[in-house]
Amino acid sequence: MVNTLFLPELREMLAEKNRAELEEFCTTLNPGRTAEFMEGLSNEEAWEVLQFAEASRRSEIFGYFNEERQVAMLSDHEPSQVAALVEEIPADDRVDLIQELSDERVREILPLLPVKDRRNIQRLRSYQEETAGGLMTTEVAKLGQKLTVRQALDELGRQASQLETIYYLYVVDEDDSLRGIVSTRQLVSSLAHPELTLGEMMETDVVVALVSEDQESVAQKVERFNLLAIPVVDASRRLLGIITHDDVIDVVREELTEDAQRIAAVAPLEDDFLRIRLLTLSWKRGIWLTILFFAALLTAFALRHYEEELKQFVWLVWFIPLIISAGGNSGSQSATLVITAMTSGQVKFRDWRRVLVRESIVSLVLGGFLATIGFCVAVMVAPSFHDALVIPITLLAVIVCGCMCGASLPIAFKRAGLDPALMSNPFVAGIVDILGIVIYINVGRMLLG
């Protein structure tokens, strides 16, 4: 919902160039809320308002705009103003934004930044997206192990304004190699012993992420160990940066949303649903729809193959959609449950036997139940009690096949090093469709032929 509460006042202040009030607007509220109140303004107006905030506040407010607005603002304005803003944006967010700008624009802005920031940006840009390196920020509190509690606190006081977060202090040696961590909490509660050194109090068994580690694995570590931030190191344990909890929430949301989309046979959008280009969206959906379409075409050939049987027992035709959908639905339930359980780490490859045993029991229960209902209906339309048996027998067989297929494919994909969510549901649907028809007609042949 766009918050329009302050819009008229804001526009009036802008028209009057009311410095005092605009400055107050930028400082009184928390930066997130300030950004929210500015949502209704044009990019141009919002940029004007931002100029009344002091540098660090400006970048904080800017950080709460949506990406579209951020990119537009950085693309449109005076390079020197833009560079001043970019300098203040946290290192990890800054790199992500710069990736979105045109090469020409980047060439205009980079030279205006201090050498330190420029190097930092170039280094961060070299890491792959979706890895720890692509997520981390380099702004981290590094301290030597000989510092005392009192000295560390003073040093931290000096560094704090430059840092995104200070939940942990990272203790490093001369080569920047990570030796241990001290939490701010530990530091503060050790104020009574100001002569203790960081080396004496630090936790040496530190959970770290390798710079090339996949973001999903990083998120799992952070969740498992309830971390506020995880240090990122290279192969020789040099501390390169940290990944903070807010980036981890984003990763969790992104990965799970992708799962849900893949389950519904959509290639992950990687963009806002309302902002993605329609042609891109059509492609991301069309590719899977087409594959599924060809799978379903096979059912047409199968049915054509059984033309004689279907002519002989016309009533069998009526139940075709029912049987296919029962198999498809139960299969997609199984696949989704196994996929979500694997994403959250509840199911590992080694559990495959247990999963299949459990699924076979559940599928017998479900199949048995639906077969019973199916039989009651079939009795009403089939020529005889005996003929009606085709329906429940087929249903039971198809549902068991659907569940087994749905449960085993994601595990097999995972084993093959693929994303279990990637193709499971479409594959299951395709296989179960064909299998359903083949089982159906053959059961019919045996009982009726």
Residues 323-382 within binding reach of a copy of itself (CB under 8 A): 324-326, 328-330, 332-333, 335-341, 343-344, 346-348, 350-351, 354-355, 358, 361-362, 365-366, 369-370, 373-374, 377, 381
In the shown chain, the binding pattern of residues 62 to 101 toward a copy of itself, with x for contact by CB under 8 A and - for none, equals: -xx-------------------------------------
Q: Judged by CB, which is closer to a copy of itself: 33, or 107?
A: 33
Contact between 209 and 234 under an 8 Å Cβ cutoff? The reply is no
Alpha helices by DSSP H, listed for 226-351, are 245-263, 278-305, 307-312, 315-318, 320-343
> 């020197």: which residue's tokens?
80
Q: State the minimum distance, in angstroms, from the CB of residue 87 to a copy of itself.
A: 19
> 């304004």: which residue's tokens?
161
Question: DSSP 3-state assignment of 114?
Answer: coil
Integer Cα distance of 117 and 87 in angstroms: 7
Q: Judged by CB, which is closer to a copy of itself: 83, or 428?
A: 428
Residue 21, judged by CB atoms within 10 A of its CB (0-12, 13-18, 19+), counts as middle
Q: Judged by CB, which is closer to a copy of itself: 106, or 356?
A: 356
Task: Say if strands 142-143 and 168-172 run parallel, antiparallel, or are unpaired.
Answer: parallel
Q: State the minimum distance, in angstroms, from the CB of residue 149 to a copy of itself.
A: 10
Q: CB pairs under 8 A, 24+ apart, for 248-253?
A: 248/218, 248/219, 248/222, 248/223, 251/135, 251/215, 251/216, 251/218, 251/219, 252/219, 252/223
Q: Give the CA radius of gyration of the chain.
A: 30
Q: Output the CA–CA distances (angstroms, integers) from residue 219 to 132, 230, 245, in the order listed.
A: 9, 9, 9
Q: State the minimum distance, in angstroms, from the CB of residue 175 to a copy of itself.
A: 23
Question: DSSP 3-state assignment of 138?
Answer: coil
Binders in 164-183 for a copy of itself, by CB under 8 A: 165-167
Q: Judged by CB, which is closer to a copy of itself: 83, or 336?
A: 336
Q: Judged by CB, which is closer to a copy of itself: 162, or 384?
A: 162
Instruction: List residues bridging with 170 in a β-sheet.
Output: 142, 181
Q: Judged by CB, which is closer to a copy of itself: 44, or 250?
A: 250
Q: Judged by CB, which is closer to a copy of itself: 30, or 99?
A: 30
Q: State the minimum distance, in angstroms, from the CB of residue 52 to a copy of itself.
A: 17
Q: Does 157 bind a copy of itself (CB under 8 A)?
A: yes
Integer Cα distance of 100 and 106 in angstroms: 9
Contact between 196 and 148 under an 8 Å Cβ cutoff? The reply is yes
Give the residue among 234, 42, 30 at the shortest CA–CA distance from 131.
Answer: 234
Q: Output the CA–CA distances (angstroms, integers) from residue 256 to 48, 224, 273, 298, in the order listed.
A: 38, 17, 15, 32
For residue 277, how many other CB atoms are within 10 A of its CB?
A: 9
Contact residue for a copy of itself among 48, 285, 352, 379 (CB under 8 A): 285
Contact residue for a copy of itself among 137, 148, 190, 215 (CB under 8 A): 190
**Count of residues engaged in binding a copy of itself, rule: CB under 8 A:** 125
Q: Does 191 bind a copy of itself (CB under 8 A)?
A: yes
Q: State the minimum distance, in angstroms, from the CB of residue 2 to a copy of itself.
A: 9
Integer Cα distance of 331 and 437 in angstroms: 15
Binders in 381-440 for a copy of itself, by CB under 8 A: 381, 425, 429, 433, 437
Contact residue for a copy of itself among 9, 68, 76, 154 (CB under 8 A): 154
Contact between 134 and 241 under an 8 Å Cβ cutoff? The reply is no
Q: State the minimum distance, in angstroms, from the CB of residue 123 to a copy of itself.
A: 24
Binders in 226-265 for a copy of itself, by CB under 8 A: 226, 228, 245-246, 248-250, 252-253, 256-257, 259-261, 263-265
Integer Cα distance of 47 and 69 in angstroms: 10
Q: Give the N- to C-terminal CA distance of the chain in Å, as an integer.
A: 64
Q: State the minimum distance, in angstroms, from the CB of residue 299 to a copy of itself.
A: 4
Q: State the minimum distance, in angstroms, from the CB of residue 434 to a copy of itself.
A: 9
Contact residue for a copy of itself among 206, 209, 218, 431 (CB under 8 A): 206
Contact residue for a copy of itself among 3, 189, 217, 312 (CB under 8 A): 189
Q: Does 42 bind a copy of itself (CB under 8 A)?
A: no
In the shown chain, the binding pattern of residues 288 to 327 toward a copy of itself, with x for contact by CB under 8 A and - for none, equals: xxx-xx--xx-xxx-xx--x--xx--xx-xxxxxx-xxx-
Binders in 110-149 for a copy of itself, by CB under 8 A: none
